[in-house]
Amino acid sequence: MESKMKPDGEKAEPPGYQRVVLKNASPHHYLKVRLLLEVESTRVSAVELKRFIVSCLRGLHGEVGAALEVDVLKYDEETLSALLRVHSRGLVKLWSSLTLQGSYQNQACAFRVLQVSPFLLALTGNSRDLHLD
């Protein structure tokens, strides 16, 4: 799409216009989740969270579900909130297994799925986070 220079140094015509509409083309979906625990002081590391997610998938969808590739893109140990990435075809399995998981190491827990999008960029601009004093 670079502009080409004519031999006499004048700028060539600008490149043409191109428009493509991609429908259902996102290979991944991204989830912003938060883990709520009965004992709020419980510490959960990123590795422990990933293991827990895999166990959630195994619990509801078996070994096939546990084999689903889930990436923990970002994790905050203070708030137990994480950004996850999963293949689009595995979104429903992951989301359902997180929703239906009720216990973590013998204490009650709940996954709050705060936002889901096929675009990671969309998770960085949620107007529901706007607070005005």
* 47 is a site residue for another protein (CB under 8 A): yes
Task: Compute φ and ψ for 31, nearest 5 degrees.
Answer: -125, 140
Scanning 33-41, 102-110, 123-131 for contacts with another protein by CB under 8 A, the matching segment is 123-131
User: Binder to another protein among 33, 57, 93, 104 (CB under 8 A)?
Assistant: 93
CB of 26 to another protein, least distance (A): 5
CB of 24 to another protein, least distance (A): 6
* 132 is a site residue for another protein (CB under 8 A): yes
CB of 77 to another protein, least distance (A): 13
Long-range CB contacts (< 8 A, 24+ apart) of 53-61? 53/84, 53/94, 53/97, 53/98, 56/97, 56/98, 56/100, 56/101, 56/111, 57/93, 57/94, 57/97, 59/97, 59/101, 60/93, 60/96, 60/97, 60/100, 60/101, 61/93, 61/96, 61/97
Contacts with another protein by CB under 8 A lie at: 1-3, 14-30, 46-47, 50, 69, 71-75, 83, 85, 88-93, 115-128, 130, 132-133
